[in-house]
Structure 1
Amino acid sequence: MTTVGASTDSRRADVPLGRDEVVAAVLKSAAHLFAERGPAATSIRDIAAHSKVNHGLIHRHFGSKDALVGAVLDHLGGRLADLLAADADGGEVAAAVDCQLRVIARASLDGYAIGELQSRFPNMAMLLDATRQRQASDLGARLAAAHTIALQLGWRMFGDFLRASTGLEGLDDRTFARSIGRTVDLILDAKGPDDS
């Protein structure tokens, strides 16, 4: 009897129980799968299997797939903001940025209205606050922040093509990252349209 009980306990140990555990597991699994293949190629059943929850619970806690995509975007934005506020390890921050940008790009390419689905943008608010200190106007700060994210999204999604097409495939990652950082600094320090 001890063996059967231990087996049941070990199976239950990795199965999320209760609303909070189910929601956390679903958000983590959905973020991973959306970043890997995009929301359109990921079914609710895929997410349920990956998170070890019944697919009916996903519908109960999130409703529609659009609402789940919005919840994942909010989750990723909040997680990145928390990591940045905690001055977390650079590798952990880089992984969070990568996941968030991939989900944003894939959801957008899949036709999701991510600007409408995501309700909170805490990491963008942090970027805007930092950018306002470097810009003379609010419009200049907003444009600089948008250009910075566009640059990062472009390299994240099309980096292989961009490296190959410009002869940069041999450039080491450290030099490449420094170059992007310098370009971001130029964008953030450039005068805005009404700052001339």
Structure 2
Amino acid sequence: MTTGGARGRDEVVAVTLAAAADLFAERGPAATSIRDIAAKAGVNHGLIHRHFGSKDRLIGAVLDHLGAQLADMLAAGAAGSEVEAAIDRQLRVIARASLDGYPAGQLQTRFPNVSDLIEQMRARYSTEHAARLAVAHINALQLGWRLFGDFLRASAGLDDLTDEELAQSIAGAIAAMTKSGQKQ
């Protein structure tokens, strides 16, 4: 039985993934119970267990959902602010899950955006390993700034750096990484 009107497996799964993603991004999986997710989603907590099984499987499903959602947004040419919000949410869930001790890279089963980026880098780098390493560096750069931007600004004396200047700097660093690996 649901308490919020979601009916059928697909609706219950959809509202559960949305609620879990919000809560995991806000406070992390360790500080979020299945009952918290059920309350936010308006479903019975037993349905979450039925459709996802363990909390680890729910975390993996949320990570897969967020990756697919972002890939769909990018393919549809969504507005920059929507894409930025989706990226921020996804990276926060990845970071919080990892910091909480969940093996996010193992729980997530599909990485559509990373796969697309690797495919782009293959044409620019002489080896598969170099292309994959470049993608890992690009992701680390984005993840680090999104999650630790306040600390990085303060520690490097960049308190007056605007968000636009930061975005341009990150884009420049990513462009440099992609150019540096170009095949000769």
Tell me which interval the TM-score lies in, with the shorter structure as reference length. Answer: over 0.9
TM-score, L = length of structure 2: 0.94
**CA contact 1:135–1:189 (8 Å) conserved in 2:** no
In 2, are the aligned partners of 1:81 and 1:126 still within 8 Å (CA)? no
The share of aligned pairs that are identical, in percent, is: 62
Question: What are the Cα deviations for residues 101-129 of structure 1, in whole angstroms up to 9, with x where unaligned?
Answer: 00101100000011211111111111111
Q: How many residues align?
A: 183
For residues 35 and 57 of structure 1, what CA distance do their matches in structure 2 show? 22
State the one-letter code of the partner of 1:94: E
Structure 1 CA distance, aligned partners of 2:17 and 2:94?
15
Matched, 1:171 2:182: no
How far did 1:44 drift?
0.4
- CA distance in 1 between counterparts of 2:56 and 2:160 reads 40
Aligned to 2:37: 47
Relative to the length of structure 1, the TM-score reads 0.89
Q: Which amino acid aligns with 1:79?
A: Q
Unaligned stretches of 5+ residues in structure 2: none
Higher CA-based Rg: 1
Alpha-carbon deviations, 1:50-79, whole Å to 9, x = none?
010000000000000000000000001101
Q: Which residue among 66, 69, 79 is the counterpart of 1:89? A: 79
Distance 2:178 2:97 in 1: 27
- Regions of 4+ moved over 6 Å: none
Which runs of structure 2 are paired with 1:140-155 in the superposition (5 Å)? 140-155=130-145
Of the candidates 1, 5, 8, which is equivalent to residue 18 of structure 1?
8
Q: Which residue of 2 aligns with 1:120?
A: 110
CA RMSD, aligned part only?
1.7
Q: Which residue of 2 aligns with 1:31?
A: 21
Deviation, 1:164, is 0.9
| 1:22 maps to amino acid | V
The equivalent position to 2:68 in structure 1, one of 58, 71, 78, is 78
